[in-house]
Structure 1
Amino acid sequence: MSSVKNVIQDSYKLMLLKDYLREAIKEAGFSDVDIQKTPIGTRVGLHVTRPGIVIGRKGSGIRDLTKVLEKDFGLKSPQISVIEITRPELEPSVMCNRMSQHIARGTAFRRAVMWTLQTIMEAGAMGVQITISGKLRGERSGFEKHSKGILPRAGYQAGVVVAEDVVHVETKMGLIGIRIRIARKEKFVPEFELKIATKELKQKPKAEEEKEIEVVEEAQIDKTKPRTESEEIEREEKLIKEVETYEDVEEELK
């Protein structure tokens, strides 16, 4: 088999694996998977928002997932490692999944788009663009683009800063496609940097540092935090109703 066919076959298997993981560990907030072949076996890195759900009780989830990857996908001796996503709002795949679930539950697509835009920008993104297409309002297909902030579209910066993902959701009207592109500030590479003397750097007072540590500890023991993606979706549905859309603004102006 030629090298080109091997690349195509590996890409196809990776696509099938991502589709499977997107459904199998949906409650864990699946984002991406990294596969690295070694002489010993295959290293599989799962990027999720809630690692505990993937690991399971006493590692039962990892063992079951290992058997599936080895039997159904032909991975030799898979060694699974779970990587936690610290800021899921800046991951296009996570936000695509959440937005698709909102639309599947009956939320108006524009309201879901505005909520997703607001959530991503509040998380500290440099820019975001959401494209939604399909039978949105009737029998005829169409598409809408909504953007906010600064989003590089071409050049070197676009390839480094911008990450994107596409997901499809089936509704009563038909199939709807969602594409989210997010530009992250921390990945931006400036053309030049100003060197500042270390003496001029302001150090935070100890009181502020202690306050930050206390806030982190309180967040870790917060019992109201959603444990699964379904609970997160239910929490967001209550907040989405308060989001103002273009239709609401038009009615107020009439």
Structure 2
Amino acid sequence: MKLVTVTITTSRPGSIIGKGGQEVDKLKEELKKITGKDIQINIFEIKRPELDAPLVAASIARQIENRISYRRAIKMAIAATMRMNAEGIKIQISGRLNGAEMARNESYKEGRIPLSTFRADIDYATDEAHTTYGRMGIKVWIMKGEVYGKRELSPLVGMTKKNLSGGSSASKEGNSDAKRARRKK
């Protein structure tokens, strides 16, 4: 029998594991019935959920669905994220804000979010809040810092000068001899 590995990333692993691992065992049994294969469940904890864009977006969406003012939810999320030493956060919300007849967009930003910089470590996520007035879209950008030397962004990584110039080394030597001969004339 083959093994199916399920990886769950959560900010609260205790709610998934349950008392003595009962919830995980139930989940394994249900998945085993569906797939007919053995199941291995890996649960990873997100240590700082305030710096995880999908969790921040979901949190704002749930608060709006529970009739908390969108401005208050956004400002609380921004404050919590900046307290966790993020370099910047930007939140955009669009839809029928406060039940207005005309839909609009509003953006809230604190710190810096350089969207044109490759080395910026920016986490991005979207979510939707379903209200009685319709859907409200939420976009979240969180800048955690800058990436220095972790990865090379150039498409020419790992290529030597021989590989880049093309052709064989013998033909290059022949070309240089021909150039020298032309210069002497």
TM-score w.r.t. structure 2 length?
A: 0.72
Closer, same or farther: CA 152–67 of 1 in aligned 2, 3 Å = farther
Post-superposition offset of 1:143: 1.0
Q: Secondary structure at the match of 2:147?
A: coil
Report how many residues are paired: 148
Of the candidates 138, 144, 151, which is equivalent to residue 106 of structure 2?
144
| 1:44 and 2:6 correspond | yes
Post-superposition offset of 1:98: 1.5
Name the CA distance, whole Å, in 2 between partners of 1:93 and 1:41.
29
Name the CA distance, whole Å, in 2 between partners of 1:62 and 1:122.
33
Of the candidates 98, 101, 108, which is equivalent to residue 69 of structure 2?
108
Alignment of 1:1-254 (within 5 A): 40-72=2-34, 74=35, 76-137=37-98, 138-158=100-120, 161-185=121-145, 188-190=146-148
Considering only aligned residues, what root-mean-square deviation do their CA atoms show, in Å?
Answer: 2.1
Residue 108 of structure 1 aligns with an amino acid whose one-letter code is S
Residue 50 of structure 2 aligns with an amino acid whose one-letter code is E
Closer, same or farther: CA 44–75 of 1 in aligned 2, 3 Å = farther
Identity of aligned residues (%): 28
Name the CA distance, whole Å, in 1 between partners of 2:96 and 2:33.
38
Match of 1:247 in 2: none
Q: Secondary structure at the match of 2:57?
A: helix
Name the CA distance, whole Å, in 1 between partners of 2:126 and 2:67.
20
User: Where do 5+ consecutive residues of structure 2 fail to align?
Assistant: 150-185
Contact 2:119 2:148 in 1 (8 A): no
User: After the TM superposition, which parts of structure 1 deviate over 6 Å for at least 4 consecutive aligned residues?
Assistant: none
Contact 1:96 1:179 in 2 (8 A): yes
Larger Rg: 2
Q: Secondary structure at the match of 1:124?
A: coil
Closer, same or farther: CA 133–71 of 1 in aligned 2, 3 Å = farther
User: Where do 5+ consecutive residues of structure 1 fail to align?
Assistant: 1-38, 192-254
Contact 2:90 2:109 in 1 (8 A): yes
Q: Secondary structure at the match of 1:132?
A: strand
Q: Secondary structure at the match of 1:54?
A: helix
TM-score w.r.t. structure 1 length?
A: 0.53
Contact 1:42 1:75 in 2 (8 A): no
Contact 1:133 1:178 in 2 (8 A): yes
Residue 46 of structure 2 aligns with an amino acid whose one-letter code is I
Closer, same or farther: CA 75–103 of 1 in aligned 2, 3 Å = farther
Higher helix share: 1
Name the CA distance, whole Å, in 1 between partners of 2:125 and 2:104.
19
Post-superposition offset of 1:45: 1.8
Name the CA distance, whole Å, in 2 between partners of 1:41 and 1:150.
45
